[in-house]
Structure 1
Amino acid sequence: MQIDIIAGTRPNFIKIAAIIYAIESSKTGIKYRLIHTGQHYDEKLSLGIFRDLNLPAPDRNLNIGSGSQAEQTGGIMLGYEEILKEKKPNICLVVGDVTTSMACAITAKKMGIKVVHVEAGLRSKDWSMPEEINRIIIDSIADYFFTTTIEASQELYRNGKSKDQVFFVGNTMIDTLLRFKPKFQAPEIWNKLDLQKKNYLLLTLHRPSNVDKIQNLKRILSSIMENSGEVPVIFPVHPRTASILEKISLPSKNLFFIKPLSYLEFNFLLQNSMAVLTDSGGVTEEATVLQIPCMTLRENTERPETVQIGTNEIIGTNKENIEKALFKLFANKWKKGAIPELWDGKTGKRIIEVLIEEKAFHTGQIID
């Protein structure tokens, strides 16, 4: 069996790592081709993570780079189509909800290749999010689905998928987190500021609705700074946000902008923080497993288990909610969370076991 494993962004790399480890340790003869679209091209967000996670070099890199949603989608589809003309796999495996996954899923499906979606069935119900559109498109055309929760499986059933297409296996991001937890390493800022465990806040922002408009970004940052006392706030700045921050006058002695961190460095800061404020879905999952209080700076989430079971709360971006959330944190009244079912570090193995057992994955000619 030949599988194309698709990745293009930092979250993709973290998710596919567990699958690649499982393939290489299974000794089943499964062959894979790692396709990197180049959607993330910053060193810390892209190739650096291959070193951090001990991943093999990509077999192909489309080097798509920056551009609008349409430009990236079109470029990825054209590039992946050329690869498929050279050789078709049995399966195109895509993870998550980024442009890379959506574009390659469409391209593979149109060329008669079975599409497998890992992390299927997630829904925020927020159509302003490009990721929500991508999720729905991928799930509407994929052939098989691996889910992180029972609720995600039920969402797929409601949309007409059959039980022989849907497999509840857990969360590959957590496989990678648990595998590399002993190897987390302190970034430069840790020693530079003499940070101590549980004495700082970690902040991440990258959603267009939060960072593309100066007033929105300034309001969020001001609200956090006004309610964080003298606690340091460490903000690794996503490349898309850096240019906007240059236009904001926001003097603060305890807000520290730093460059993007490696995977091992970021999770070191997350694990040792007092809390994280974020608009990233993946960070809410990692915070839940690491038992770190998490505040989601959005009005919704496609990962409700992090709220229902984990340490996450949806607080939005208005000043009053941020103030209330930080007050609760500093009063030591934040809730205790638990870890969702099957988030146990064995998801990659379960996925490979399904691929091996399901005869449907072994049909279809591989064309050289």
Structure 2
Amino acid sequence: MSQIRKVLALTGIRSEYDLLFPLLKRLNAAEDFELGIVVSGAHLTPLHHYSVHQIEQDGFHIVAKIESFIWSDSVSAKVKSIGLIIQGLASVLAEEKPDLMIVLGDREEVLAGSMAATYMGVPIVHIAGGDQTDPSEGDVDEEVRHAASKLSHVHLTMHPAHSERLMNLGEEAWRVHTVGNGGIDRLASENGISLEQLAELLGPDVKGQYVIFIYHPLSSAIDMASKEVEIALEALSELNVPVFIGAPNSDPGFTKVLDVLDKFASKPGFHLYRNLPRAAFLTLLKNASCIVGNSSLGILEAPYLGLPAVNVGERQRGRISGRNVQFVNASFNEIKAAVQKALFDKGFSEQAIEDRYVYGDGQMADKSIEILRSLPEKTRLLAKKHIFHA
């Protein structure tokens, strides 16, 4: 039997953990890997209903919990949170001495984890690097994603164009692998709960046509977030279709967004849910008629389901997307027209299913674990060469 590799995975929020889950499950079951989870951020807060409990229920070994969430809408709170994660990881990495550390995406945990692991001499596996967004006013996630990639040693990307972008940034080709989006693994392999069970949780509106609304604040436009949410929900209120509203992430601006969501949740036809069990959310997503807002779900996972998506505002602009997506400004009329098209235009519904495999075919975990098995020894992984193109 080959040597056992010790792997730590860092997770800070439910949405990112759900994308990691298929690979973590495979690693946890493999005899040639020893997996430990480092939990931080929103997982440990009431805002996300202590989603650390889901990780425990999934049977993973949590090696450390790093309390890093600061309840504030300020950008400075986010910076302080990064510092807390780095401090916590310094002790964890010194004690655990992993062979690899896995991070995913472009949140603050990824940057903090990549910085700490680099200084501690731990090779980093970065999932979902090389992606690109292009909001007109900028977004810190873009800089964080690419900074984490340059600190990382192995890249598991969601799309061939992302792999090409990383190599254009100077990453060696042997370190870069296109594997797809782990979220699609879950859509392909998990059934969720029954519609009757979902109705018991959320009410009878789930048995007909309905819309999911999820909106996260954009770092460069915090003050606009609550206004954009109000405009979008006012537009949806005129369509007489039930709306199931998800809570925002923990980025600056989230408390003002929550205030607006709470206001609409008291109106007929609007339902606010917070941190639904994974199986319940899967059923909610699979039976939806449209997803509205600015969540990456509309770009990354919805195409696989043929689910129409209306992306409101600047967040997610510039990303590779399927024909299921309509990008609109935060305009009452644009949002209303786009959702009407998604719900009632049969031709649009038919084209939405045509780009199912934009971000993979549900084999991300299988591909990734074989890549991790084939990696060279630690010393070679750490010896990065940056290929600068003339």
1:34 to 28, 33, 37: 37
Q: Which amino acid aligns with 2:228?
A: N
Kept after mapping to 2: 8 A contact 1:211/1:244: no
- CA shift for structure 1 position 116: 1.3
Match of 1:281 in 2: 296
1:264-318 Cα distance to aligned partner (Å, 9 max, x none): 222211111111113111353222222211111233527834x2x3522222322
User: Structure 2 vs 1, CA of residues 184 and 6 (structure 1 numbering), >3 Å: closer, same or farther?
Assistant: farther
8 A contact 2:245–2:261 mirrored in 1: no
Q: Does 1:350 align with 2:367?
A: yes
Q: Which segment is superposed worse, 106-115 or 171-180? A: 171-180
Flag the 1:104–1:271 CA change in 2: closer, same or farther, 3 A: same
Q: Which moved more, 1:55-64 or 1:152-161?
A: 55-64
- 2:388 maps to what in 1? none
Is residue 2:49 matched to residue 1:49? no
| Candidates 312, 319, 323, aligned match of 2:325 | 312
Cα distance in structure 1, aligned partners of 2:181 and 2:316: 16
Q: Is the 8 A contact 2:195 2:206 kept in 1?
A: no
Deviation at 1:210, TM superposition (A): 7.0
Equivalent residue, structure 2, for 1:336: 352
Q: Secondary structure at the match of 2:174?
A: coil
Query: Could you say if the C-alpha distance between residues 80 and 169 of structure 1 is closer, same or farther in structure 2, counting changes exceeding 3 Å?
Result: same
Aligned to 2:134: 125
Deviation at 1:110, TM superposition (A): 1.4
Deviates more, 1:93-102 or 1:234-243: 234-243
Task: Tell me the distance in 1 between the aligned counterparts of 2:228 and 2:379.
Answer: 50
Structure 1 unmatched runs, 5+: none
Higher relative contact order (CA 8 A, sep 6+): 1
Counterpart position of 2:215: 205
* TM-score, length of structure 1 as denominator length: 0.86
Taking the TM superposition and a 5 Å limit, the aligned residue runs for 1:149-228 are 149-183=159-193, 193-208=203-218, 209=221, 213-226=225-238, 228=239
Q: Is this contact kept in 2: 1:3–1:90, CA < 8 A? A: yes
| Structure 2 equivalent of residue 294 of structure 1 | 309
- Mapped partners of 1:188, 1:97: distance in 2: 32
CA-atom RMSD in angstroms: 2.9
Matched AA of 2:374: E
How far apart are residue 139 of structure 1 and its match?
1.2
SS in 2 for 1:39: helix
- State the alpha-carbon separation in 2 of the partners of residues 55 and 311 from structure 1: 35
Q: 1:120, 1:145 within 8 Å by CA — same for their partners in 2?
A: yes
Cα separation, partners in 2 of 1:17 and 1:259, compared to 1, 3 Å? closer
Task: Provide the C-alpha distance between the structure 2 equivalents of 1:91 and 1:231, rounded to a whole number of angstroms.
Answer: 47
Change (3 A) 1:87 1:297: same
Residue 59 of structure 1 aligns to a residue whose secondary structure is strand
3-state SS, counterpart of residue 181 of structure 1: coil
Distance 1:186 1:131, change over 3 A: farther
Which blocks of at least 5 consecutive residues in structure 2 are unaligned? 72-76, 383-390
